[in-house]
Amino acid sequence: MMRACHTVGISGDAGTGSAADDPICPDCRRPLRETVRNQTIGAVGASERPATQIAVTYCGSCGWTLAAARVPRMPMPVFGMEDRPEVADPEDPDTVGGQFQLRCRELVSDTMTAGFTPGGWIGLINSMGAVGAAQHLFSTGRVLPVTPWLVDHGRPELTMEHEITQPQWADLFTDQDRAEAARRLKRGGHPSV
């Protein structure tokens, strides 16, 4: 059983790096190198929402809590969301890049209407612009979760990959980008087949 949460009082001197210099538990005085444990637990609450996840670091010998912090939630695609996230306005809607972002906004809206909220795609667009997001995805080899979903649901025309292959965006993407987009669509949007 874990006891009171204290994050101060961990003993240990900076020194030669010997075992004698290692931090020790403030309660049982055992070396933390041997006993420290980490665990992620769900907070107990009255609501029916998913429990908040808490990362707890504690002494495995006596149970003394050394640290506890909320685990940040990663954005995930959400089905049937009531509150719809939106793609931000482009910096300059009159440029080709701005027009591409507006088109991606339309694709995202149509995708949500089809039943999938592409939170990851929206987040990337809002943080680096639609062109930057597409280039980032290609350079890292990452495929958005929405891509196979749209292909599997008969809507490949709503994918970023399909849009990149359209002639009006030729100045934004390389032949290599367009070829990779076409390969991804041919594989059904799945990362590897």
pLDDT-derived band of residue 50, with 50, 70 and 90 as boundaries?
Answer: low
List the beta strands (DSSP E) in 60-112.
65-70
Q: What is the dihedral of CA 120, 124, 125, 128, to 10 degrees?
A: 180
Q: Residue 124 carries which side chain, given as an amino acid letter?
A: L
Ranges of each domain in the chain:
19-70, 96-186
The span from the CA of 31 to the CA of 10, in Å, is 10
| Residue among 56, 66, 63 nearest 23 (CA) | 66
Question: 69 with 90: CB under 8 angstroms?
Answer: no
The H-assigned helical ranges of 79-141 are: 96-114, 119-140
pLDDT at 150 over 50: yes
The residue type of 119 is G
pLDDT digits (tens, 9 = 90+) for 72-123: 554 444 444 456 789 999 999 999 999 999 999 999 999 999 999 999 999 9
> What's residue 192's pLDDT?
55
Considering the entire predicted model, what is its pTM?
Answer: 0.57
How do residues 36-45 score in pLDDT, each as one tens digit? 887 777 766 6
| pLDDT for res 12 | 45
* pLDDT above 70: residue 51: no
Q: Which amino acid is at 65?
A: T
Q: Convert the pLDDT of each residue in 21-35 to its tens digit.
A: 778 999 999 998 888
Q: How far apart are CA 146 and CA 122, in angstroms?
A: 11
